[in-house]
Amino acid sequence: MEPHPGPLDAAREYLTDLPGINLSAVLEFLQHNELGLAFDCLVDLGGDLDLPISFWQHLDRAAREMRLYSEALNKPHLTAADFCRRHLAAASEQE
């Protein structure tokens, strides 16, 4: 079953043609509807790259749709949603 187009797929597109980026785990998670794990992988992969703010906006939309921000408030450690928010804020300040 093909995953439906959405913010995670839109974010993934930014990484598709980059050398040295292996998206097999992301694709597998999407195919098995493990959206939270796909989100975590995308944040991890994009964390060290200089990606446009739109990459982080897609992930932000996905986090909101999956209610990851409200879940992050109940965790004592930083989550992928926290890192997404930080990258989005930093990219917004640069524009």
What pLDDT band is residue 76 in, cutting at 50, 70 and 90? Answer: low
pLDDT for the residue 3: 41
Range of the domain at 31: 7-94
Q: What is residue 5's DSSP assignment?
A: P
Domain assignment present for 2: no
What pLDDT band is residue 20 in, cutting at 50, 70 and 90? Answer: very high
Q: Please state the pTM of the whole predicted model.
A: 0.80
User: Which amino acid is residue 93, in one-letter code?
Assistant: E
Distance CA 3, CA 9 (A): 8
- pLDDT tens profile 23-71: 999 999 999 999 999 999 999 999 989 899 999 999 999 998 988 877 6
Domain assignment present for 1: no
Domain assignment present for 13: yes
**Tally of structural domains, the chain:** 1
Closest by CA to 62, choosing from 44, 78, 81, is 81
pLDDT for the residue 82: 80
Closest by CA to 82, choosing from 71, 66, 91, is 71
